[in-house]
Structure 1
């Protein structure tokens, strides 16, 4: 009997010790704190429960993806979000990536040239960043000088006029920025939580910033609701008006030209360079006839990239000026440009699709066609990209 009591007592003690230790472990996990992150961001960032960047749904008809060897993770994209909005990444703590790429404007800028440090300005109009992950073109910047998004992300930081860590005229360089970030408490905590150490490197900045940018997606437009109801883009969308369907057909259908470059049949052929359903740019595209340089003479014929046409408009109004020079402020102006292409002297890089039979195309677009195309363009804009807090400023 005594032996049985001893066994029972031992078992009860074991259970008690297990439950006590389990409770202590649970309490330890529950009490895990990040004081610097809390002080900087309040409830906007929770390292114990990062926002969902990695498992966002996308339509099954979206098949392009330039993620490559840097798949999105919640932790690294969160660091990317902080870096994107942090003015500490500029030489004088006045400019962040988000200063030129504003969520309110689909991550573009309403200024033709965005402001940099010490009165500097960007050389080209700031490109919208929506759906950068789903671009068939993996190169970045208007002139595609960055082979990948990863390479692109730290170049503005090192640009003398933009964010200033250029190492020029006595200024600090990127290594100085990395040391600066290592000394900031919330980066110490974030990098430790995600990477296991506080080592801030250029490769990690590129990894995190590009993951955050690729996470910015927009698939809640009227177009997406309609595309889900049909087998392909050539069918009329049941949720579209007659004008929207007509505009879609004009957008997607290539034109037929006579020997003098005049359209005699077909549509406007916009989809030849901005193919549905991603509406990104064809990697083989050459320049589109806009060859100016902002506030300078001469020509620049090497700008061959563009952002996705998704969320170009919001409530019928362009989010930002268009083209690398910001020369157009309305879609009507853009259609007018493509409707009557003039081959400028020295432009040896004009896209062949714009010069049928070696002459500039003349689409002879009617007012009804213009209205229909604009109606269709409006269906490419959603709402969530402007309001989702996981893409918003964590410092607010």
Structure 2
């Protein structure tokens, strides 16, 4: 009788255990319109409001740099679509970098990150570069890890970390995951073009912009080959698209004959791949909010959108003086899509009008993306 009773208890206990399911992570509501695909998210870092809130505080905190002079927001400023109006960035030690700061617009949809690295495919990987990179130094945490980490073990951060990562220690792993979550939340899909194309508002953009849109998607101008899709870049992935379209291109910006290609200080994807055919290949960035992210190109060497259009109309750039003299139009590795085209002044103005419709004012001013209150 006793053994029967014990058996019933064990059966009941096993039934309870079998019915228990692991707690599901809280549902994160993406700020996207119905019908748009959701971004892909790493399985080990599901999105949550608590992670985004913590990442936002970290993003704006200068304590993340070893000398407490810079934050992520120093080079990624909201009013410039989380880019900055400098030709190339300057790190926390005052070191001038070789590349222009990329805008953080819809990064959640990017297949690859940075200007020229096909192996960095997650934001969690990418944020480690400005944190720990030494060539160039950005936030400069390397060799100062303990001094920096202890700043985030103070009481003011305790509740934020506990909500975002319960039962996990405060570490650079959780810091990078929180930063990635905030950056992933920076969605921009509320520009006039979106109202026109996806919400059926025929009056959302001007007739000039419609003419410019038709030119943009034409085979004559071929802009859409490198800046296509709803995110206006080839570097796109989401729940319905996982293919890598290898969105790196040599646009004929340089052809320094003594170097047989791009300036040796930055040869693009070839630095990573080791392949000569990748010399001068850089990732085609999104054109969303492009109007506010000047200057342009990987090295910020073109000042205005009008000049960018002239550059593509010419099929590249010829430099007749300065350090990098040469005719980029003749670069043998130049993309076949950069052939040049005839563009009237009206065409240019129409194209500029279209590109302006990709500016999302709500994204640039959303207080939820801006600096948090100091009493977090």
* TM-score class normalised by the smaller sequence: 0.7 to 0.9
* Corresponding residue number in structure 2 for 1:77: 52
Where does structure 1 lack aligned partners over 5 or more consecutive residues?
1-51, 231-235, 256-267, 355-360
1:94–1:117 CA contact under 8 A, matched in 2 = yes
Per-residue CA deviation, residues 66-90 of structure 1 (Å, 9 max, x unaligned), is 4343332100111111111111111
Deviation, 1:150, is 1.1
The answer to whether the aligner puts 1:224 opposite 2:194 as a matched pair is: yes
1:321–1:329 CA contact under 8 A, matched in 2 = yes
* Corresponding residue number in structure 1 for 2:229: 276
Deviation, 1:59, is 2.5
Deviation, 1:305, is 1.6
* Corresponding residue number in structure 2 for 1:177: 148
Partners of 1:242 and 1:204 in 2: CA distance: 49
* Corresponding residue number in structure 1 for 2:112: 139
Aligned mate of 2:139, from 163, 178, 187: 163
Partners of 2:75 and 2:265 in 1: CA distance: 26
Partners of 1:125 and 1:288 in 2: CA distance: 16
**TM value normalised by structure 2:** 0.74
Judging changes above 3 Å, is the alpha-carbon distance between structure 1 residues 372 and 143 closer, same or farther for their aligned structure 2 residues? same
Partners of 1:213 and 1:351 in 2: CA distance: 31
Judging changes above 3 Å, is the alpha-carbon distance between structure 1 residues 340 and 61 closer, same or farther for their aligned structure 2 residues? farther
Aligned mate of 2:342, from 364, 368, 389: 364
* Corresponding residue number in structure 2 for 1:310: 288
Aligned mate of 1:353, from 331, 337, 347: 337
Partners of 1:276 and 1:309 in 2: CA distance: 11
Partners of 1:344 and 1:107 in 2: CA distance: 30
1:89–1:177 CA contact under 8 A, matched in 2 = yes
* Corresponding residue number in structure 2 for 1:208: 178
* Corresponding residue number in structure 2 for 1:341: 315
Size of the alignment, in residue pairs?
Answer: 308
* Corresponding residue number in structure 2 for 1:258: none
Judging changes above 3 Å, is the alpha-carbon distance between structure 1 residues 219 and 292 closer, same or farther for their aligned structure 2 residues? farther
* Corresponding residue number in structure 2 for 1:117: 92
Partners of 1:209 and 1:381 in 2: CA distance: 24
* Corresponding residue number in structure 2 for 1:323: 297
1:101–1:108 CA contact under 8 A, matched in 2 = yes
Partners of 1:133 and 1:81 in 2: CA distance: 15
1:90–1:96 CA contact under 8 A, matched in 2 = yes
Deviation, 1:291, is 4.7
Judging changes above 3 Å, is the alpha-carbon distance between structure 1 residues 77 and 239 closer, same or farther for their aligned structure 2 residues? closer
2:90–2:96 CA contact under 8 A, matched in 1 = yes
Partners of 1:350 and 1:322 in 2: CA distance: 18
2:191–2:357 CA contact under 8 A, matched in 1 = yes
**TM value normalised by structure 1:** 0.71
Per-residue CA deviation, residues 152-192 of structure 1 (Å, 9 max, x unaligned), is 0121011232111123xxxx2x455334422x222222112
Partners of 2:74 and 2:27 in 1: CA distance: 22
Where does structure 2 lack aligned partners over 5 or more consecutive residues?
1-25, 236-244, 257-262, 270-280, 317-326
Report runs of 4+ in structure 1 exceeding 6 Å deviation.
none
Deviation, 1:55, is 1.4
Deviation, 1:112, is 1.4
